[in-house]
Structures are given as structure tokens and as C-alpha cells.
Amino acid sequence: MHILKGDVPSCQPGRILGHEGVGIIEQVGAAVTAFKASDRVLISCISACGKCYYCRKLMYSHCTTGGWILGNRIDGTQAEFVRIPYADTSLYPIPEGADEEALVMLSDILPTGFECGVLNGKVQPGATVAIVGAGPIGLAALLTAQFFSPAQTIVIDLDDNRLEVATRFGATAAINSADGKALESVMKMTEGRGVDTAIEAVGIPQTFELCEKLVAPGGQLANIGVHGTKVDLHLESLWDRNITITTRLVDTVSTPMLLNTLRSHKLDAKRLITHRFKLDRIHDAYETFAHAADTRALKVIIEA
């Protein structure tokens, strides 16, 4: 949706969108050695050459000839066929008996929520975490934050349905911020301290600035949201608070671990899926997600 709103200028009109998916290999190029035709694979949202300066630092999102190119700078996965560059380092074999719909959540949202939110936010046992935004990415951060047993996980959103889902997914508190009192509510819950980790999972100025106010001295503000407009950084309030602000594009370094977690049933990613459409109804799928407050959509599966 960020692309359709114009927040990603590198994606030009006419591009086939989509950077998530599972599929069956039809044909491999001469350089591919790890896969063969008919293999069932998970497609990573990040394409990585594995050899450049950034790949050597495990920053695959900044691969000099790859990164987030699928559905952005090259045609993506929302089609009958898709070309995957650097297949050996950008695909994962699907284990026998795995739930392929659940695996789609490993293409992007689960590693994004985990790496950009939970790991960058340094969530720790006994900590207090606030997640601003209860869409798929925020919920993915909520699910994976529980790996580290925080004492409180507070989810903030405008949508009561998504807040209800967040509570089912393990949030200890859910706050509807429509009344403008989210900060006051969080401060009451934390005895005036604020939170150890504030995760921004929306991508608009209001939510980032709320996170600036929520984070406690010594805390972490982990940005996940895709921002298409400028955001004010209130250093007049933050300069002496010993906080760390992080930004990140997912590197998908956690995908193998998350795949194991799914296989062992420690993480139920399929709960994020709410709607399914055939490819010839893709416009209906986009409409459904665009009106999520009415349709209660989270993740929408499109099947070719």
C-alpha cells in the first residue's frame, strides 16, 4: 500500500508488484546450483548476491545489485511467473509437509517485525514494550517479541478489531489512540517511566512522534514504518534521555531461524491470514486490504 500511496519513488508505474510468496521452480539459470526445476521454494523479499560489501556484513537489504528489488525495481511475485535473481541466496527450500500459506509470512512480515522491531529494539525479558500500529507488521513484531518474554507488551492503534486481534496474539494491553490519550495511558501503566522499547509500525509522522514521547530514558525507539514524508525529531526533549533510535530495512538474516520456529509450532503465522483470492481477483484483494477497518483484513493470500 505504501507503493500505491507514492511513498516508494523507486517503483515506477507499470511495475508488477509483490515481494512475498512461495512457488515451484519452472526453470533455473546456469549459475544456480542449489535448486532445480520442480523444487518448492519460499521467496525472500530481499535478493542477495552474497558477495558484495554489504552482503559480507549480512546487510542483504543493501546488496549493491539486489536488496529490495522484487516488486520495486523489477517485476514482482503477483503474477503467474516471477524471475528471482541470485536464487541460491534468495530462496529457501520448503520442508516436506510445511504449511505453504504460513510460509508466505516468512517472506517479509515476520523477519521485518523481528529484525527491525524486536532485535533493533533490544527487547529483553521483563521489559516493557509498546508497539504503535497493529497492522500485519506490528502484529508480527508482537508475535516475535514474545520470544524474549517481555513483562508488558502494549499495542496502540485506531482500529478496535486489530486491537482485539493483538490481545488474542498476546498483548498485555491494547489502547485505542483515537481519543489522543495513548501517551497518558501508557504512562499510567508504567508508573510515569515510559517504555523500554517503542516500536513504530505505521510510517506516518504522528506515530513516530508518539514513540518519541513513549520511550523511557535509556530506552530504544525502533522504526519499522515506511515513511514517505518528513518527521520531526524533537531533540529539544530527547537530547539528554540516553535513548537509541534505529532504522532498518529487513535483511532476512533471521529467516532460517523463523522457519525452524514455524516447523516446531512455536509460532503460528497462519493466524495473520484473513482473506484469500485467486490472481484474477487481485483488484478485489487490494480493495479488501485498502478498507481493512471494514473488512477486518490482515494478510491477504493471492493464489495464481
Instruction: Give the whole-angstrom CA distance, residue 234 versus residue 278.
Output: 46
| pLDDT tens-place string over residues 134-181 | 999 999 999 999 999 999 999 999 999 999 999 999 999 999 999 999
- Architecture in CATH for domain 21-108+252-303: Alpha-Beta Complex (3.90)
Q: Which residue in 156, 150, 157, 155 sits closest to 128, CA to CA?
A: 150
CATH code, 120-246:
3.40.50.720
Q: Which residue in 30, 19, 7, 40 sits closest to 105, CA to CA?
A: 19
**What phi, psi does 68 have (nearest 5°)?**
-85, 90
Determine the pLDDT at residue 149.
98
How much of the chain exceeds pLDDT 70, in percent? 100
Q: State the cell numbers at 285.
A: 484483494
Determine the pLDDT at residue 5.
82
| pLDDT tens-place string over residues 189-229 | 999 999 999 999 999 999 999 999 999 999 999 999 999 99
Banded model confidence at residue 77, pLDDT cuts 50, 70, 90 = very high
In the chain, CATH 3.90.180.10 covers 21-108+252-303
The 3-class secondary structure across the chain, one letter per residue, is: CCCCCCCCCCCCCCCCCCCCEEEECCCCCCCCCCCCCCCEEEECCCECCCCCHHHHCCCHHHCCCCECCECCCECCCCCCCCCCCCHHHHEEECCCCCCHHHHHCCCCHHHHHHHHHHHCCCCCCCCEEEEECCCHHHHHHHHHHHHHCCCEEEEEECCHHHHHHHHHCCCCEEEEHHHCCHHHHHHHHCCCCCEEEEEECCCCHHHHHHHHHHEEEEEEEEECCCCCCCCCCCHHHHCCCCCEEECCCCCCCCHHHHHHHHHCCCCCHHHHEEEEEEHHHHHHHHHHHHCHHHHCCCEEEEEC
Mean per-residue pLDDT for 37-61? 98
The letter for the amino acid at 151 is A
In the chain, CATH 3.40.50.720 covers 120-246
